[in-house]
Structures are given as C-alpha cells and as structure tokens.
Structure 1
Amino acid sequence: MASGSIKKEANGTWMFVVDIKDETGKRKQKRRRGFKSRKEAQAELTKLLNDVNDGTYIEPVKTTLGEYMLTWLDSKHDNMSRLTIDSYRSYIKNHVAPSIGHVALSKLSPLDIQKLVTDLRSKKDHKGRSLSASTIQRIFNIVVTSLNNAKKMQLIKENVAKLIDKPKIKKKKIEVWDVDEIRVFLDGMYDNRHYICFHLALLTGMRQGEILGLSWKNIDYEKKLIHVTQTLSHDRKEINHGAKSHAGVRSISINEKDVAELKRHAHRIEEEKEKAGEELYEDRGLVVCTNIGRPVFADTIGKMFRKYYRKFNVTPIRFHDLRHTHASLLLKQGVHPKIVSERLGHSSVTITLDTYSHLLPNMQEEAASGLGNLIFSDPQKNEL
C-alpha cells in the first residue's frame, strides 16, 4: 500500500510527499507543492493514494499536447491518406498549438479543451473570415481521437475532451435541381469535352473524386455497371485505391443512355490521343482527363461548373449537390432508400434518410393518405 504525508512549508503553502513503487518494485517519492491549505493538500493526496492503490495511477509525462499530437499523427501514415495527414498537421500547428499546444498532456483539463473551442470560434483566416462550424468540429474531433489513443497507451487516465459538449454544426439546407434544370444544363454542356463528368454526377450520384479517378477498366458495358474502386486526390497527385468508406467501394448500375455517352466520350478520347501522339499523350486509363491524358484538377471542374450554371441561368449549387440531386430524384420516384444508399456508397441507410428526408415534405402526407385509402376505401367501388 502506498503512503504519504503532509507538511506546511516556510512560505505558508502546503505540500505532500507520497511513496510509490514503480514496476520494478523500487520506491520513488513524489512531491506536490503549492497547496493553499492543508485541506486542499489532503484532498489531492487522498485522490493520488486511491489511484495508486487501485492500480489506476499513471505517471505524469512532460510531453505537451502539441508534441504528442504530432507524434500521434506520425504513427497514422498507414491508416490515413497523404492529404488527410497534411490537413491534420495543418490543423494541429495552426490552431491547436497556438491555443493549448503548450499544456502538458498529463495536466490537460476540460477547461483547456473549452478554451480551444472558444479560441477557434473567435479566430479569423487570412481573408478575415471566421472558421466554419464544420472546421471547428473537425479540429475538435482530431483532438478527441488523439486523446483516445493517449488513454489507450496509458499516457493519461481520462480523455478530458469527452467531458465537454461537442461543437455543433448547423445543418445547411441542401439545394438541388429539378428535372427541367438538369435538362437545360446537360443540353447546354453537351458539346463540352468534360460533359461526361456532369452526366455521371447526376445519373450515378458518384462523388467528384470518384468520377475524376474513374478508370475505363472499371466500366462494364455489357452488364451496364460502373465499379467504384478508386478516387483521385484533390491535388491530383495520386490515385487512392478504395473509397471514402468501406461501403464506398461499390458497383453502380447505369442505363443505355449512360453507356452511349461513355462510348461517345471514349471516341473523343481516342481522337485526342491520336492527335497528341504517343510521345505527348500520357495514357493513364482515366475516363476524365486532359487532352493529353493527365488527371483533371477538381478546381478545374468546379470553375467550369460555376461558369456554365450562370450561363444557363439555373439554380447556383455546388458540384457535390449534383449527387444530392441524384439521390432526391430517386427517392421522389419511390426508389427504396436502401438502394439509394448503395448507389451513393453510404456506410448506412440511416445517413441517407437523415440527409434527404427533409427534401421530401410530401412523403408523410402521401403515406397517411395512402393508408387511409387502403383501409377505408369502398371495395365495391374499387371493383367497378
């Protein structure tokens, strides 16, 4: 059993000394000073002794939160993409470190985490804009995840970040196009060399990175399937095998029109390849590529998208909203949410329902009306 003693120091403050056995059985003395009263020192001593005797005592480390988080991040290279690692490192260095990065990991408290959230909410970027709620929540989640690992490694006794409320994100209203707007946009874009990019977004619900990383070898014309197995990184430097989630690796059924447009686009690619010549053309097997075969920047597609929706005077939306448009139209047609979820590559049908249920305000009304007709309609009238 560990034991300790309390005494008053010359400056009027109180301290305690406790004898602790390490893993080898050797005794070590731990001192803590600066308590304002004997009662305060006694409370801390009792807490420490309880932890030691219960076997839950963890030796305090001098490593700061900032140092620990960067070390933790270095251990994640096999589990995260390069871009994710880079973005996490930026969040740690630019946001966590200036706020509470200097705090010793062993002395971190809920108040420190709350201070971080408060600092993030008042922070401005280089353009004078406040950090978005999603960015603040993302940084908070990174801290929580890293501290979960610290607890697992027995560097801390408790993840104090879990003791405060998670920053909330106000759900943004999803904007989608109606059928007329889709027709106007696709008709206007038809002769553009990147038409297929927008066609696939609207007709398959694929994410932008999935479309830009799509390979010809993953298209099965005979079975009318697109196999989503890889994505293009946002900076266009690498093809990432797999998808956003396990469910993201999937097969999407396409129709005859989709097949025809893919074949039309393939013919264009062959013409460009012949025109550029073997020495200049870099054939990487990508469906969406530059006129010499290289991957296309996501920003290039985004700028093109904004240019043309303004030109055709349709509702201004994000490229990602083409995916939302695809999903909402399927649900309005009565397609089962599980099928929609599978096409989108959601990890759970719950995500699909949570995301798109508000787009269908008449569904409950139709359900109630249909049930009433089923139960209370006159069978004899129905037979006439």
Structure 2
Amino acid sequence: MAKRGNGEGSIFMRADGRWYSALTYRDDVGEVRRREVSGRTQAEVRAKLRELRERVEAGAPVKDASITMAVWLEDWTTKALPASDRKPATIDLYATIARSHLVPKLGSPPLDRLRPPRRRGPGARQAPRRPFCVIRPDDLHGAPGRPRRRGPGRADPAQSGRPGQTPGRRARRRGHLPAQQVEALLEAIRGDRPESLHRVMLATGLRRGEALALHWRDVDLDAAVIRVRWTLSRTSAGPGLGLPKTEKSRRTVPLPVPAVETLRAHRKRQAAEQLAAGSLWQASGLVFTSEIGTPLEPRNALRRFEALAERAGLRGVRLHTLRHSAASFLLAAGTHMKVVQEHLGHSSYAITADIYSHVAPVQQREAADKLGQAIR
C-alpha cells in the first residue's frame, strides 16, 4: 500500500461506489483548509491528491480561479508589479506588454481554462515560432513579501517549459567596428554636441545608461578613472536613475589619455552652456546633459547617434556597438578575458567569453605568428 502524504486522509469507497479522500492544508493566511476529491478508482483519487499536494507545495491555488486573465493581469500590473523591487523602466515595460499584448490575446478566458502548451514528439509538426516574451514566468507571481507566490490558473499556465526553468537566450556574436570604420565614425561626429558622449563610450565600453548617468563627482581626471554607480533609463515619468543591472556593474573603469582630454574639454563647454542658460539651468551633477542641464533622453541619444552613423556610411550601428568595439579592441590587444570582464561589468567570465569568442581566432593567429618568429 502506497504511503500517504502529509495532510492526506484515507481513501475509502462510499455507498455510491465512488472512491473518496481529502487533503488538509494551510492557506495563504495560515488557516487550515480541507478539500475533498473523488474518483472511480483508488488510483484516480491518489493522482488527484498528488496534484493537489503539488499545488500547495508550489504556492499555486488549490482550486482553479474563475476570474478572467484580463482581470488578473490588471490586478497584477496595478498592485503586485509596482510593489516589486524591479526597476521603474522594467515595471513600465511589463505593464505595457501585459496591456498591449497579453490582455488582447489571453484576456477573455477564465484562468482555469488556461493550460501549458502540449509538448510535441520528435516527429510531430512544429507550430510557428512565437516572439520571445521578456516577461518570465516568475514575473507573473505576486509581489515580494506576500505569504505565498501564486500564479494564475492550474499549475501556473505561465510555465511553458520544464518546472523552475525560464526561456534562455543563446549567446550571440556582437557586432563591432574595425579600426577603419571607427575613424569614419569619429570624423562624422566631430564637432557634434554629443561627440564627447560617443568618444567616452568608445574609450570605456560603458553601457548607454551608465554613460548617461555618469556624475562629475564620480569622475577623477587626475587619477584617470570613473566610477560606475548609476544607470539612467526611460520611465513613464521621464528619464530616471537606478542602480546598475548587477553587482559587478558597479565598478571603477580606467580612462585612456584621449578620454581624459575629451572630458576636460567637455567640462569647459558645459560650464559655458550653464552660463548661457542662466536661470533656466537645472543642476543635476551629470556629465552628459541637455543644454539646460537636464538628463538626456536615452531614446533621443540613440536616434542622434544612429543619424551620425548613417552620415559615416555605417548601417545597423547602435550605441551599444561602441561598447562591443571597445571590448574587441581590448581583446585584440592581448588583454586577458578576465580583465575585460571586470572592465565591462559582466556578471561572469563565461558571459564575456561567449559574447566575444569571435576575437579568439585573431589572438590565436597573432600568437602563432609570434611563435613562428621565435623558433626561426
């Protein structure tokens, strides 16, 4: 006889010929609850008890909810999501995706009608691929600090893969600019107002948000270093400061001599702009600002750079291309991958190695040439 789990009663047959049992458990507020199950056989009842126990252990509703997905998502975006510890830009993004894409497509059916997609065998016809959704299954749970994390529907329909796993992103080779294209780009941005921003990003490998959030108090031109402590992103209320994406992102980055000279000249130009703006100037302490001292809008900074890249004859070049170009130059110069990881603020060595594996063959060729010269 199979051993009963915690809270399970005995399985017995009633006068109607059906088998019955019950599961006793504690709900979200700690109250003791009891739910009965029935079936035509003992095996069917045991399976239902096992399913109920799994739901309780996973923090999912024991009874399927009857509200619609649209109602649940509205509650999630207005209560649980704002109460979470996610960045404001992420909260805005998730709320927009929920209202613009999830509600129109999944809003009508009740939660108890939603099911994970069936897995197909090797020979089955594959369905069309769906766009990758940036909202992970874990993101559709309640806000941190609640008694239980609870997802919608039966056994959390948001989970479409193996339990506890979320869709992963395969590492991709990142585009970078060779030296000749860098020269063309620098010529195109010469004299443009955001020239200093672009030169510093190319010289340091800073992310866009890190560069736009850089404060003068975190710049030490005498020691030729900058400290990355903040990131700037767009929110529904406008540009806002937040913490960098990982602990490794909070770092000190050395400045090459040309970058130091660029920042010295930029500080003089900014002082002249402040004088010209007069009472309109809004002191933010930021290195890269608008003509009245306010933070730069990240999307506007991106659009301006793309226009300048087009002027240089470069298509498909983004601000992030400057970061990858800086990393590629460091690696091509023989800098150890671990040093590049810390320079870029990647959370692990493996991430740097996967992204910039395309630089390794160049280093291997140079190493082979040096070896050939040594053994002549």
Normalising by structure 1, we get a TM-score of 0.75
Matched ranges for 1:1-384 at <5 A: 2-5=9-12, 17-21=20-24, 28=34, 30-31=36-37, 38=40, 42-49=42-49, 59-62=62-65, 66=69, 74-75=79-80, 77-100=83-106, 109-111=115-117, 121=129, 131=131, 136-139=132-135, 142-146=136-140, 153=148, 155=150, 160-163=159-162, 173-235=173-235, 237-277=238-278, 279-314=279-314, 316-367=316-367, 377=375
Structure 1: runs of 5+ lacking an equivalent: 123-130
Quote the Cα distance in structure 2 between the aligned partners of 1:26 and 1:195.
66
Q: CA deviation at 1:239?
A: 3.5
Q: CA deviation at 1:219?
A: 0.3
**Bigger CA drift: 14-23 or 169-178?**
14-23
Q: Structure 1 pair 31/88, CA: closer, same or farther in 2 (3 Å)?
A: same
Q: CA deviation at 1:187?
A: 3.0
Identity %: 25
* SS at 1:295 equivalent: coil
8 Å CA contact retained: 2:239, 2:295 = no
Q: CA deviation at 1:215?
A: 1.1
8 Å CA contact retained: 1:247, 1:346 = yes
* SS at 1:329 equivalent: helix
Quote the Cα distance in structure 1 between the aligned partners of 2:317 and 2:31.
66
Structure 2: runs of 5+ lacking an equivalent: 1-7, 121-125
Q: Structure 1 pair 85/154, CA: closer, same or farther in 2 (3 Å)?
A: closer
**Bigger CA drift: 251-260 or 304-313?**
304-313
Quote the Cα distance in structure 1 between the aligned partners of 2:147 and 2:118.
21
Q: CA deviation at 1:337?
A: 0.9
Q: CA deviation at 1:6?
A: 5.9
Query: Where is the helix percentage greater, Structure 1 or Structure 2?
Result: 1
Give the aligned length.
348
Q: C-alpha deviations, 1:10-66, integer Å up to 9, x for none?
A: xxxx9654344455998956255xx7xx35xx4331223457799967732526684
Quote the Cα distance in structure 1 between the aligned partners of 2:346 and 2:32.
54
Q: Structure 1 pair 148/359, CA: closer, same or farther in 2 (3 Å)?
A: farther
8 Å CA contact retained: 1:214, 1:230 = yes
Q: C-alpha deviations, 1:216-252, integer Å up to 9, x for none?
A: 1110111111111112122482432421211111110
* SS at 2:202 equivalent: helix
Q: CA deviation at 1:173?
A: 4.6
Q: Aligned-residue CA RMSD in angstroms? A: 4.0
8 Å CA contact retained: 1:209, 1:233 = yes
Q: CA deviation at 1:69?
A: 5.9
Q: Structure 1 pair 363/7, CA: closer, same or farther in 2 (3 Å)?
A: farther
* SS at 1:18 equivalent: strand
* SS at 1:86 equivalent: helix
